[in-house]
């Protein structure tokens, strides 16, 4: 059923105080090439908050998701490191610095990987369904699922309107990276849509490996989520990522393709079976009288896949602008790196000028601290289309206002370090200060008891 008054709410991950460059993600070009660098958590968090404010000032509804509890010293204890916190941190550093780095990672900032979301017009029981991602492909990310599940259950607590499932079984057969490999198309956010799930591998076909880099999303995971969410099989499409794209650094599909409502923006090398895919996606929308898809396909002759990975154009957010005068018009919220890349910038200019698609404005934002770890504007947010009633049932403490924005900026300014290196990660004093900082955040967001250390 169509819902009137539905809007897309973007929930951005607040970048945590331990943001650092540890090179933890094989296949993620930026993470690998900035490994060992010095990060600036304060600048990172402020860049994230500026992006959220920018979207709010465009008239969009913006939410926040809290960071993970980091460092996760209990995770090191589960790996056998014992003693007081100083001993655990020091022993982990001496045994294997990548284990230490994993429990400090602020990777929860990339909220596109928090969960897969199906809005209520698409689901059999008319509730909004969410499956938190198990993120089993990388140790540091696998530590996110429990707190993400808890946060989503606190924020979307009304069981009459929301279903927050358990993450899928934590095994590679069900490797799941959330909404980064999922795009929903619909005539408008409140109408029934078509959900596209993109996978890199099927569990039963070992020949489906790439030559260089790991694949992070399995078809089995996509199918399980579609079942859990009660999606209509005639409006659910599974497509394989092109293995060459994964090997070029496209570790998530949102590095090479994106969409909004009826618009589908992608690079010609994104998918393994492009022509049937377009028909499968467009047919249900045409049948429901919603017109077809507007396809914006970048060719190799426009720019290469390497330029796509360097510029992160496809990790832009495409948002529908509110308001009478601009009904149906869309804005591309792109990373500044896309403007700095000649061929990509020329492509954006001609796309915005082309009246056959609704994208008629482009804005370039600075999220460079996140970009150096392979996270662009779209990685930082989880899209949740919500009707007016569903928004009313959502925890208000995480919906951005000018006041909340100002409080979060002051909290970051007051507590965040402006420099973090690998050497800092064995410091128990810094660990304590980070947890105190998070404790204060749960008061600002009114999420008491969110973190394990608070219980």
Q: How far is the CB of 40 from ligand SUG (least distance, A)?
A: 14
Q: How many residues does the chain have?
A: 455
Annotate each residue in 163-192 with x if it binds ligand SUG (CB under 6 A) or - if it does not, as one string. -----------------x------------
Tokens representing 126 are 């008319």
Strand partners, 399: 63
Q: Which of residues 338-397 bind ligand SUG (CB under 6 A)?
A: 373-375, 379
Name the residue among 247, 246, 255 with its Cα closest to residue 200.
246
State how far the alpha carbon of 301 is from the alpha carbons of 249, 272, 295, in Å: 19, 19, 17
Q: How far is the CB of 251 from ligand SUG (least distance, A)?
A: 6
DSSP run (H or E) holding 130: strand 128-132
Centroid of chain to Cα 290: 28
What are residue 386's phi and psi, to 5 degrees? -135, 135
- Applying CB under 6 A, the span of 7-15, 108-116, 326-334, 359-367 interacting with ligand SUG comes to 108-116
d(CA 141, CA 251): 14
Query: Contacting ligand SUG (CB under 6 A), which of 255, 293, 298, 422?
Result: 255
- Applying CB under 6 A, the span of 77-85, 106-114, 271-279, 340-348 interacting with ligand SUG comes to 106-114
Name the residue among 205, 214, 129 with its Cα closest to residue 177.
214
Q: How far is the CB of 375 from ligand SUG (least distance, A)?
A: 4
Tokens representing 130 are 């969410």
CA dihedral sign of residues 113, 115, 119, 124: positive
Q: How far is the CB of 393 from ligand SUG (least distance, A)?
A: 27
Nearer to ligand SUG by Cβ, of 315 and 437: the residue is: 315
Residue 22 as a binder of ligand SUG (CB under 6 A): the answer is yes
Q: Which of residues 215-244 bind ligand SUG (CB under 6 A)?
A: none
Largest CA distance in the chain: 65
Is residue 164 packed enough to be buried (19+ CB in 10 Å), middle (13-18) or exposed (0-12)? buried
Q: How far is the CB of 160 from ligand SUG (least distance, A)?
A: 30
Nearer to ligand SUG by Cβ, of 141 and 405: the residue is: 141
d(CA 447, CA 355): 45
Residue 110 as a binder of ligand SUG (CB under 6 A): the answer is yes
Query: Contacting ligand SUG (CB under 6 A), which of 89, 103, 112, 186?
Result: 112
Nearer to ligand SUG by Cβ, of 91 and 254: the residue is: 254
User: What is residue 377's three-state secondary structure?
Assistant: coil
Residue 28 as a binder of ligand SUG (CB under 6 A): the answer is yes
Q: How far is the CB of 252 from ligand SUG (least distance, A)?
A: 4
Residue 31 as a binder of ligand SUG (CB under 6 A): the answer is yes
Residue 6 as a binder of ligand SUG (CB under 6 A): the answer is no
Tokens representing 351 are 């796309």
Query: Contacting ligand SUG (CB under 6 A), which of 14, 15, 24, 143?
Result: 24
Q: Among residues 129, 182, 252, 267, which one is catalytic?
A: 252
Nearer to ligand SUG by Cβ, of 141 and 310: the residue is: 141
Region of residue 49 (phi > 0: left; psi between -120 and 50: alpha; otherwise: beta): alpha
Q: Among residues 144, 191, 337, 379, which one is catalytic?
A: 379
Residue 254 as a binder of ligand SUG (CB under 6 A): the answer is yes
395 is catalytic: no
Residue 71 as a binder of ligand SUG (CB under 6 A): the answer is no
Name the residue among 304, 281, 79 with its Cα closest to residue 186.
281
Degrees to nearest 5, angle at CA 128 with 287 and 59: 85
222 is catalytic: no
325 contact partners, CB below 8 Å, separation of at least 6? none
- Applying CB under 6 A, the span of 49-57, 221-229, 251-259, 316-324 interacting with ligand SUG comes to 251-259
177 is catalytic: yes
Annotated catalytic residues are 177, 252, 379
Residues within the interface to ligand SUG (CB under 6 A): 21-25, 28, 31, 105, 107, 110, 112-113, 141, 180, 251-252, 254-255, 373-375, 379
């Amino acid at each position: 059923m169509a819902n009137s008054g539905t809007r897309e709410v973007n929930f951005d991950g607040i970048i945590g105080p331990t943001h650092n460059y540890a090179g933890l993600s094989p296949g993620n070009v930026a993470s690998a090439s900035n490994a060992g660098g010095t990060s600036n958590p304060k600048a990172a968090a402020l860049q994230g908050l500026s992006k959220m404010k920018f979207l709010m000032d465009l008239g969009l509804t913006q939410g926040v998701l809290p960071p993970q509890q980091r460092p996760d010293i209990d995770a090191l204890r589960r790996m056998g490191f014992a003693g007081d916190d100083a001993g655990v941190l020091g022993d982990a550093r001496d045994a294997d610095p990548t284990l230490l780095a994993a429990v400090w990672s602020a990777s929860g900032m990339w909220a596109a990987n928090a969960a897969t979301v199906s809005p209520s017009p698409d689901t059999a029981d008319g509730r909004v369904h969410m499956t938190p991602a198990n993120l089993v492909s990388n140790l540091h990310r696998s530590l996110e699922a429990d707190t993400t599940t808890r946060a989503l259950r606190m924020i979307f607590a009304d069981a009459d309107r929301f279903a927050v499932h358990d993450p899928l079984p934590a095994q590679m057969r069900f490797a799941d990276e959330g909404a980064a490999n999922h795009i929903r198309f619909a005539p408008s956010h409140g109408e029934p849509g078509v959900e596209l799930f993109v996978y890199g591998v099927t569990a039963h076909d070992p020949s489906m490996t790439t030559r260089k880099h790991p694949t992070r999303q399995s078809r089995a995971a996509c199918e399980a989520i579609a079942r859990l969410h009660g999606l209509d099989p005639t409006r659910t499409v599974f497509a394989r990522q092109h293995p060459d794209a994964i090997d070029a650094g496209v570790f998530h599909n949102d590095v090479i393709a994106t969409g909004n409502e009826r618009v589908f923006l992608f690079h010609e090398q994104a998918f393994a079976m492009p022509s049937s895919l377009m028909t499968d996606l467009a047919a249900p929308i045409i049948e429901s009288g919603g017109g077809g898809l507007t396809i914006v396909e970048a060719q190799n002759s426009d720019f290469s896949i390497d330029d796509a990975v360097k510029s992160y154009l496809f990790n832009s957010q495409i948002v529908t602008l509110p308001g009478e005068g601009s009904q149906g018009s869309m804005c591309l919220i792109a990373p500044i790196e896309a403007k700095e890349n000649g061929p990509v910038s020329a492509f954006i200019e001609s796309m915005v000028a082309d009246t056959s698609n609704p994208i008629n404005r482009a804005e370039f934002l600075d999220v460079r601290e996140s970009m150096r770890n392979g996270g662009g504007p779209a990685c930082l947010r989880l899209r949740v289309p919500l009707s007016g009633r569903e928004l009313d049932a959502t925890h208000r403490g995480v919906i951005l206002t000018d006041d909340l924005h100002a409080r979060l900026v002051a909290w970051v300014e007051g507590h965040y370090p402006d420099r973090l290196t690998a050497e800092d990660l064995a410091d128990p004093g810094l660990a304590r200060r980070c947890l105190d900082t998070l404790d204060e955040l749960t008061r600002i967001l009114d999420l008491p008891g969110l973190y394990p250390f608070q219980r």
